[in-house]
DNA sequence: CATGATATCGATACCGGTATCGATACCAAA
DNA sequence: TTTGGTATCGATACCGGTATCGATATCATG
């Protein structure tokens, strides 16, 4: 029952969206001049810039990124491909990415692969179809098809969280196998020799697998082998870690150390020990991976490797932003961090 | 130095992207027919559908969602606005959303507000400019400006995780204040009377605040008040919970129960107690919120309210998908879940 | 055979921006 | 005064799809 009521038969009232043309009319210039002014693209007199900006402000112009991306051949979307969001680690990476994008005008689009290579391929393909400003994908081990896709695109691609392999374009992360090796060194330095391993989904989580390899390699170098290798397909969770630890310690009560594929599992191990009177770390040392915040609050001390997750996300964005800039100074293609072993 | 070298002056070799026109030519039909065939939009003979599909397959056509969204007035992007991704709860909601979108052709775009209303406004505004298929925003308490934006849009909007207030369009969640009240009831039923509260950022996290209100209301109904109310601005984390619990118990050693604004803080409380010989739950009952998976693996028992986070995400998507369908049967606008108190 | 309904198709006009290039104006140098 | 350069602007042609509507062909019916 607004004032529109009167115009029941006026034909030209859709006007659902304020467009650049409206701004141009309001400012008394052409669409092009308005476009240039709004983008600060130069070639516009100071007075007209002001006029256009004011007009846009007045009529509440927002701009249509779809149109602009279609025309400009590049969007301000950044595709982010992670294996899982339920995992805190990737959630924090996302957080870092979101933080890094703050103020850049870019928008993250995310896709979840659930550690499935086919799904990953589809997600990547789909994201590329958006002409994104960049792509951030987890890990270096994509399927051949996916890799080809990424190699042939003009879009800057940043692979994160890994360093062991050949990056397609840029790469921000750390060496997973080195991380595993370092942890092994640390545990050996603590005098541990009866060592077991507990992990999830190694066939899918190639990064955990690389850590395990590095870990075993170092053991071997010291004439040791894993006494137990409990590997499950159930999802990585604290409860899983607790259950597997119970099993492992039942089978091999002589273990004096357990390396887990991540902190969640290790925390589960800690809980099992606490609940069953196993002294940590005196009787058995537990070691995880990631350095999640809550680890240091646990009543018992467990070892872990602290990884710069937020920073990795932020850095990946920074690379894309820098590459997108016209005067793109050549960027470092490989940015390596080192996890810090904490015990 | 590829084979292109020879064609230094050939003019027509860009062809960077396979377009619908290419498919049309390859299939020997018009762009429109190709478009219709690929979208299964009808009005195309069976033989031509096959021809087009085959052609598209052969030349590797992918389709440009930008163009299609611009033309079709609606994209297949779904905006997701959450206060934080580092928080597992929202990470799991995102997981549910991603799961729900699996196979729908929709893509989630996410924005993080860090509990900042201005930021939220900007994120929402920005997302609306993409003509999204839908918007999923956390909570019912947006700023006035943001609310106006959401009310005036045609895009389906789903507010999640809360029920206490007036939804703009649809709403999937649970009553936070009722959840707080229920937990109070449960704790009182356990015979607890010396109750304290520990929480973070209540001025920003309105949902935690609602829980606290419901909690206090129930206490009051039973002639009780909180003995301690520790509220901090530091981020919600296990370590924060541990520190605040230490403080609270030092001030009021007579506490027999602590309600936390979430499970992370509560876990920190549990760790403090374990490390300091405070018996949980005999001496002091700890109660959190969310029902995170790891809670049940803790060596001590703590209470919590289990919330269907993944399901909420999934349901929100389902609403958007259903609304987007042409023959959109009228959907339930309010989908209420009930957290389950676990003790 | 005329007629109308139905199925199938394509030309054209957008969607809302941006790239490109030519036009115009103004000023300094020749 | 002529010439050349620079600053400023706008007409036009896209970007890659989709909506619309009219054209054509086919077929059952009167």
Question: Residues with Cβ < 8 Å from A325, sequence gap 6 or more?
Answer: none
pLDDT of residue B75: 86
pLDDT of residue B72: 78
Partners of B157 in beta bridges: B135
Size of interface A-B (CB pairs under 8 A): 140
B268 part of contact set with chain A, CB < 8 Å: yes
DSSP category for residue B165: S
User: Which residue's alpha carbon is at the shortest distance from the C1' of C14?
Assistant: B71
Contact (Cβ atoms closer than 8 angstroms) between residue B269 and residue B236: no
Please state, in angstroms and rounded to a whole number, the distance separating the CA atoms of residues B245 and B237. Answer: 12
- At B140, give phi and psi (nearest 5°): -105, -5
**To which residue do tokens 């409206």 refer?**
A22
Q: Tell me the per-residue pLDDT of A258-267, one tens digit each, with 9 for 90 and over.
A: 999 999 999 9
Q: Where are the alpha helices (DSSP H) in chain A?
A: 20-27, 31-39, 46-59, 65-72, 88-101, 117-128, 144-152, 176-189, 206-221, 238-251, 263-275, 309-324
Please state, in angstroms and rounded to a whole number, the distance separating the CA atoms of residues A247 and B80. Answer: 41
pLDDT of residue A11: 36
Nearest to B271 among A110, A275, A299 (CB): A299
pLDDT of residue A182: 96
Q: Minimal Cα–Cα distance from A110 to chain B, Å?
A: 6
Q: Tell me the per-residue pLDDT of B8-34, one tens digit each, with 9 for 90 and over.
A: 333 334 457 899 999 999 999 999 999
Smallest CA–C1' separation from A64, nucleotide = C16
Q: What is the pLDDT along chain B (343 residues), one digit of tens a residue?
A: 333 333 333 333 445 789 999 999 999 999 999 999 999 888 899 999 999 999 999 998 999 999 999 997 788 899 999 998 878 899 999 999 999 998 888 989 989 998 999 999 999 999 999 999 999 999 999 999 999 999 988 899 999 999 999 999 999 999 999 999 999 999 999 999 999 999 997 678 899 999 999 999 999 999 999 999 999 998 889 999 999 999 999 999 999 999 999 999 999 999 999 999 999 999 999 999 999 999 999 999 999 999 999 999 999 999 999 988 765 566 788 999 988 888 7
Helix (H) or strand (E) holding B159: strand B157-160
Partners of B290 in beta bridges: B306
Helix (H) or strand (E) holding B35: helix B31-39
Smallest CA–C1' separation from A32, nucleotide = D10
Percentage, residues of chain A above pLDDT 90: 75
Q: Tell me the per-residue pLDDT of A176-216, one tens digit each, with 9 for 90 and over.
A: 999 999 999 999 999 999 999 999 976 788 999 999 999 99
- Give the distance, in angstroms, between residue B15 CA and nucleotide D4 C1': 39
**Helix, strand, or coil (residue A69):** helix
A66 part of contact set with chain B, CB < 8 Å: yes
Both tokens of B212, joined, read: 């606290």
Cα–Cα separations (whole angstroms), residue B217 to A4, B225, B286: 47, 9, 19
DSSP category for residue A45: -
Q: Do A242 and B110 touch (CB under 8 A)?
A: no
Give 3-state DSSP helix, strand, coil % of chain B, rounded to 5.
45, 15, 40
By DSSP bridging, strand B304-306 and strand B340-342 are antiparallel
Q: State the SS3 of B70-130.
A: HHHCCCCEEEEEECCCCCHHHHHHHHHHHHHHCCCCCEEEEEECCCCHHHHHHHHHHHHCC
Contacts of A237 in chain B (CB under 8 A): 293-294
Q: What is the longest distance spanned by two Cα atoms in chain B?
A: 90
Please state, in angstroms and rounded to a whole number, the distance separating the CA atoms of residues B83 and A283. Answer: 42
Please state, in angstroms and rounded to a whole number, the distance separating the CA atoms of residues A69 and A75. Answer: 4
Smallest CA–C1' separation from A21, nucleotide = C16
List of protein residues whose beta carbon is under 7 A from strand D:
A 29-33, 42-48, 67, 70-71, 73; B 16-17, 19-21, 31-32, 35, 38-39, 41, 61, 63-64, 66-68, 70-72
Cα–Cα separations (whole angstroms), residue A291 to A87, A267, A303, A342: 13, 11, 8, 8
Chain D bases near protein CB atoms (7 A cut-off): 7-12, 14-20
Nearest to B86 among A95, A241, A268 (CB): A95
What are the structural domains of chain A? 13-63 (1.10.260.40), 74-174+310-338 (3.40.50.2300), 176-306 (3.40.50.2300)
- Best to test chain A binding among B15, B64, B110, B241 (most A CBs inside 10 Å): B110
Contacts of B112 in chain A (CB under 8 A): 95, 98-99
- Give the distance, in angstroms, between residue A127 CA and nucleotide C4 C1': 49
């Amino acid at each position: 029952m607004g004032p529109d009521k009167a115009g029941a038969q006026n034909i030209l009232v859709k006007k659902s969206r304020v467009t650049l043309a409206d701004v141009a009319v309001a400012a008394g210039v052409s669409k092009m001049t308005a476009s240039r002014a709004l983008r600060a693209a130069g070639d516009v007199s100071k007075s007209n810039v002001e006029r256009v900006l004011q007009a846009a402000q007045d009529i509440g112009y927002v701009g249509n990124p779809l149109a602009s991306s279609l025309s400009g051949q590049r969007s301000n979307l950044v595709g982010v491909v992670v294996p899982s969001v339920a995992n805190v680690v990737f959630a924090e990476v996302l957080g870092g990415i979101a933080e890094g994008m703050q103020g850049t005008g870019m928008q993250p689009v995310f896709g979840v692969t659930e550690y499935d290579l086919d799904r990953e391929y589809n997600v990547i393909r789909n994201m590329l179809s958006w002409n994104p400003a960049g792509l951030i994908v987890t890990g270096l081990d994509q399927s051949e098809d996916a890799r080809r896709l990424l190699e042939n695109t003009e879009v800057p691609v940043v692979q994160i969280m890994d360093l062991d392999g050949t990056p397609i374009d840029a790469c921000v992360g750390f060496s997973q196998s080195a991380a595993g090796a370092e942890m092994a060194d640390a545990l050996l330095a603590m005098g541990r020799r009866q060592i077991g391993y507990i992990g999830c989904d190694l066939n899918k989580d190639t990064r955990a697998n690389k850590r395990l390899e590095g870990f075993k390699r170092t053991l071997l170098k010291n004439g040791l082998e894993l006494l137990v290798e409990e590997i499950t397909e159930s999802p990585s969770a604290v409860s899983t870690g607790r259950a597997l630890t119970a099993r492992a310690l039942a089978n091999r009560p002589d273990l004096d150390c357990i390396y887990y594929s991540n902190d969640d599992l290790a925390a589960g191990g800690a809980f099992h020990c606490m609940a069953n009177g196993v002294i940590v770390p005196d009787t058995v040392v537990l070691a995880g991976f990631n350095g999640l915040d809550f680890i240091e609050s646990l009543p018992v001390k467990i070892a872990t490797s602290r990884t710069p997750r937020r920073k990795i996300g932020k850095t990946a964005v920074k690379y894309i932003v820098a590459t997108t800039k016209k005067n793109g100074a050549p960027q470092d293609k490989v940015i390596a961090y080192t996890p810090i072993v904490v015990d």
